[in-house]
Copies of this chain bind each other. A is one copy, B any other.
């Protein structure tokens, strides 16, 4: 059995992905990693240009053990990542402010994933088209079929990059503060202020010329959870 065939199987931690600080927060099973990746929409991708690190926010999506992101074929970032160069994609979901009785034990509740590897440019037109469709469907399920069909020129003008999920780890903190024993009796409020992502009421384009068109049901958009 290869790990890729079993959604519950774990990624093997490597020297680069094993969580060393607070190792109890490290998670390597696919269920945890997939759930975090599927709840996020924006990742931060790290890459080098002339030996210096750059971090760019970009939308991403997952298909099995592959992460995808995309952009203009003219993008400096994507050109820098296209030729099998090392990248690190990090996804972070902030879940709460953890207020302790001492400054030192203040913390945050969060879920994050770090994926390391060499980016690949998706060259196969079928995979590229399928990936772009999957991206739209990931954001608003059911939306692709109703859109003006994508053109060959638009596919050509879009670069799609792929990272195989091999070196991956998640890091998760949940729960109340962990204070020093001696501090629990202090008259200081301690606990968690929950943080979440909220979707508002869809705002129609002022140029909307489709009186019968209905906005997507916000409930179908999965973000943060």
- Chain A interface extent, by class: 35 or more
Contacts of A180 in B (CB 8 A): 148
Q: A45-B55, A48-B53 known; A102 and B148 CB under 8 Å?
A: yes
Q: Are B140 and A99 in touch, CB under 8 angstroms?
A: yes
Q: What's the Cα separation between A92 and B199 when bound, in Å?
A: 17
A75: chain B residues at CB < 8 Å are 21
Q: Are A187 and B213 CB-contacts (below 8 A) given A55-B44, A158-B104?
A: yes
Chain A residues at the B interface, C-beta cutoff of 8 Å: 16, 20-21, 41-42, 44-49, 51-57, 59, 71-72, 74-77, 86-90, 92, 94, 97, 99, 101-104, 106, 108, 110, 112, 114, 116, 132-133, 136, 139-140, 143-144, 146-148, 150-151, 154, 157-158, 176-177, 179-180, 183-210, 212-216, 218, 221, 223
